[in-house]
Structure 1
Amino acid sequence: MLNKQFDISLEQVEDEAWAAKVLSNYTVVDKTSALPRLKDIPATRKKRLVILKWLVSHFEQGANYREAKVNEIIKQFHPDCATLRREMIGYNLMQRESGIYWRQN
């Protein structure tokens, strides 16, 4: 049993290291704002999910956002806010109802 727990922890560490590498490959620090900017939207689903999880982390848990505010936040990181907003909904990282968005638990 102890070995199985160790294997799970090791797998989590490897997943986190891989996600960090994906983030570093797809982001660059913007010299004018000191914020990381997304260079590209990954084509592969697994890498795209890493980017979307990182992006959704910039939204407060439990807060409601109008679409304009969601776009404003996303545009800090990448100009294609419509695609990224739809992807966050599609991956169930955010929910939308009657023009109001919120971060999933």
Structure 2
Amino acid sequence: MDGLRGFVSDGRLLRLPARQSKRRVVLAHLALSFEPGRRFPEKEVDVVLRAWCAGGETDHVAVRRHLVDEGLLSRADGVYWRSGGWVDVLG
């Protein structure tokens, strides 16, 4: 996906874009890591996001916060679920 160029490479998040519209594209891509309809404990979300952020400029906690702020993940009582973003209906 063209909007990811310069921000995601080889399954890693290099950095988050400053511009909100580009950041939303990158975050929506990361949200694909979370299966719709499934609940995730915070520790599991952190494992996934740490893997994305390894070696990059952005820490996983900031990414988690952005995902929630953008409505891509929701949370309650330390449990997260995917609440937005694209869904791959062909895969």
Q: Does 2:79 align with 1:100?
A: yes
Paired residues, number: 80
Q: Which has the higher contact order (CA 8 A, sep 6+)?
A: 2
Within 5 Å, give how 1:1-105 maps onto structure 2. 20-29=1-10, 36-79=11-54, 80-105=59-84
Give the fraction of aligned pairs with identical amino acids, expressed as a percent.
30
5+ residue gaps, structure 2 = 85-91
The structure with the larger Rg is 1
TM-score calculated relative to the size of structure 1: 0.72
1:39-84 CA deviation, whole Å, 9 max, x = no partner?
A: 1111110010001100001100011111110010011111411101
CA RMSD of aligned residues (A): 1.1
- Does the residue aligned with 2:71 lie in a helix, a strand or coil? coil
Secondary structure of the structure 2 residue equivalent to 1:77: helix
Partners of 1:27 and 1:76 lie apart in 2 by 12
CA distance in 2, matches of 1:100, 1:27: 26
SS of structure 1 residue aligned to 2:46? helix
After TM superposition, which residue ranges in structure 1, 4 or more long, deviate above 2 angstroms? none
Residues 14-63 of structure 1: CA deviation (Å, up to 9, x unaligned): xxxxxx2221221121xxxxxx1111111110010001100001100011
